[in-house]
Amino acid sequence: MRAFAALLLTAVPTVVLAQSAESAATVDLKVKPVLCIVDARTPECDIAFLVLWRSDRSGGYCLFNDFVPAPLRCWSEERAGELSEQRVVRDEFRYWITGSDTATELAVVTVEVLRLDDGDRRRNRRTRHVWDLL
């Protein structure tokens, strides 16, 4: 009886730990590329994005981005996955991944848009002297 109680005592925390760990799965989300560069001549990026994710445990996961409300793709009983998609980008946006609870973002990656020219065309038009470097 004592032995059973001891077994029960050690088993209960294990179950609790597993439950709390499931609610906080660690997901590594990577997006390539994460930088889109635009200027007056190229005002948007037409890029093939590769999205890779890996979790520390198997489960159900869904990948979203800012362009559509529905998931781009969902996986069940997986601990890793990837997706590639072609996008035309003008503004910064995010990819994020959720577990079965799609309201909770487990990992987020922001794709930045960098404007290398300026809103002021005078700046863009001024070329620097032949001996200036930048």
Q: Does 4 bind other proteins (CB under 8 A)?
A: no
Q: Does 121 bind other proteins (CB under 8 A)?
A: yes
Pairing state between β 45-65 and 68-89:
antiparallel
β-bridge partners, 9: none
Helix (H) or strand (E) holding 49, with range, is: strand 45-65
Distance of CA 53 to the CA centre of its chain: 8
**Which part of the chain contacts other proteins (CB under 8 A), choosing from 21-29, 37-45, 61-69, 94-102?**
37-45
Q: Which of 41, 69, 88, 103 touches other proteins by CB under 8 A?
A: 41
Q: What residues between 43 and 82 interact with other proteins by CB under 8 A?
A: 45, 47
Q: Which of 35, 48, 50, 108 touches other proteins by CB under 8 A?
A: 35
Could you give the C-alpha distances from 56 to 28, 59, 61, 78, in angstroms and in order?
Answer: 9, 10, 12, 10
List the structure tokens of 60. Answer: 């159900």
Q: Which is nearer to other proteins, 36 or 97 (CB)?
A: 36
The contact set with other proteins (CB under 8 A) reads 33, 35-37, 39-42, 45, 47, 112, 114-116, 118-134
